[in-house]
């Protein structure tokens, strides 16, 4: 797919399989992709290198890793090492939810999109096979898009911003099949919330279970290296 340099998109890339797929989707639309990854004090820092690999393999026009420490506020097992990552499904919103994370990330993406002249912001949010985070719901994304088009000079001057969530209503298996169709190399991705020192996925956290179940349902081998077989 040829890339249209005049059609720019900012793409949030975490290093996981959803963001890799959404980056491939934006590229398939012909967008020149400006990728953002956040080093926010997460315990699973292995995803930062995964994001670099993914962005490079999918031909990002630019890739920035933004340092933005959220660990000082705590409140999440992903940023507070004193809170264990749960190894069983939990009811309600899990402790791996990071307060206001997508609002912070999308706000920075919005600023960069305005500077770059990009009218699309892509994020791999999903409201089907997901952990129940409130800032992944379609109504949240719609609300943020409304805010974006009130808050920026670009929108006031007629260049509206769209928050693009092409994976929102897809099952994890369908996301994986779509990524395979688009040429995503999932061996470059990392999904685990608590990988070991060798970078192997734990196989027990919510993210590992969702990933493994998705690959199984898709009929596609999961290239991740697990310290123990995922409970799916």
Count other Cβ atoms within 10 Å, centred on residue 183.
Answer: 12
pLDDT band at 1 (very low <50, low <70, confident <90, very high): low
Q: Is 192 annotated as a binding residue?
A: yes
Does a structural domain hold residue 227?
A: no
The full 3-state SS of 148-200, as one line of letters, equals: HHHHCHHHHCCCCCEEECCCCCCCHHHHHHHHHHCCCCHHHCCCCCCCCCCCC
Residue 80 scores a pLDDT above 80: yes
pLDDT for position 136: 94
Overall domain count for the chain = 1
Q: Is 115 annotated as a binding residue?
A: no
Stretch 19-43: mean pLDDT, rounded?
Answer: 98
pLDDT for position 131: 77
Does a structural domain hold residue 98?
A: yes
Stretch 95-117: mean pLDDT, rounded?
Answer: 97
Give the distance, in angstroms, between the CA of residue 46 and the centroid of all CA atoms in the same chain: 14
The arrangement of strands across the sheet holding 31-39 comes to: 62-67, 31-39, 4-12, 120-122, 162-164
Does a structural domain hold residue 224?
A: no
Q: Which residue has the higher pLDDT, 110 or 87?
A: 110
Residue 77 is given by DSSP the state T
Q: Is 14 annotated as a binding residue?
A: yes
CATH of the domain at 149: 3.40.50.620
Q: Is 22 annotated as a binding residue?
A: yes
- φ, ψ for residue 12 (rounded to 5)? -80, 120
d(CA 149, CA 138): 17
Question: If you average pLDDT over every residue of the chain, what do you get?
Answer: 94
Q: Is 46 annotated as a binding residue?
A: no
Q: Is 17 annotated as a binding residue?
A: yes
Nearest by Cα to 78 from 191, 180, 170, 156: 191
pLDDT band at 2 (very low <50, low <70, confident <90, very high): low
pLDDT for position 37: 98
Is the pTM for the entire model greater than 0.85?
yes
Residue 51 scores a pLDDT above 90: yes
In terms of residue numbers, what domain contains 78?
Answer: 4-218
Give the distance, in angstroms, between the CA of residue 157 and the centroid of all CA atoms in the same chain: 30
β-pair partners for 121: 10, 163
Residue 201 is given by DSSP the state B
| Tens-digit pLDDT profile for residues 195-229 | 998 889 999 999 999 999 999 999 999 999 999 88
Q: Is 152 annotated as a binding residue?
A: no
Q: Is 13 annotated as a binding residue?
A: yes
Stretch 133-151: mean pLDDT, rounded?
Answer: 96
Helices 17-28, 46-57: axis angle to 10 degrees equals 20
Q: Is 205 annotated as a binding residue?
A: yes
pLDDT band at 143 (very low <50, low <70, confident <90, very high): very high
Does a structural domain hold residue 231?
A: no
CA–CA distances in Å: residue 133 to residues 43, 68, 93, 197: 18, 20, 6, 27
């Amino acid at each position: 797919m040829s890339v249209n340099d005049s059609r720019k998109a900012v793409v949030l890339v975490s290093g996981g399989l959803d963001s890799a797929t959404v980056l491939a989707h934006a590229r398939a639309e012909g967008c020149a992709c400006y990728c953002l990854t956040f080093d926010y004090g997460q315990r699973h820092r292995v995803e930062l290198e995964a994001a670099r690999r993914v962005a490079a393999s999918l031909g990002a026009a630019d890739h920035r890793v933004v340092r933005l420490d959220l660990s000082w506020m705590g409140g999440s097992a992903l940023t507070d090492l004193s809170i264990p990552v749960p190894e069983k499904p939990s009811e309600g919103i899990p402790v791996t939810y990071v307060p206001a994370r997508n609002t912070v990330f999308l706000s920075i993406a919005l600023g960069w999109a305005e500077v770059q002249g990009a009218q699309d912001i892509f994020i791999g949010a999903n409201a089907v096979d997901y952990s129940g985070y409130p800032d992944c719901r379609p109504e949240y994304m719609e609300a943020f898009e409304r805010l974006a088009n009130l808050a920026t000079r670009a929108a006031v001057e007629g260049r509206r911003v769209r928050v693009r969530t092409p994976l929102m209503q897809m099952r994890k298996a369908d996301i994986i099949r779509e990524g395979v169709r688009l040429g995503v190399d999932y061996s470059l991705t990392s999904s685990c919330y608590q990988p070991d020192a060798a970078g192997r996925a734990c196989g027990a956290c919510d993210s590992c279970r969702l990933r493994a179940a998705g690959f199984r349902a898709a009929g596609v081998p999961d290239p991740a290296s697990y310290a123990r077989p995922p409970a799916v």
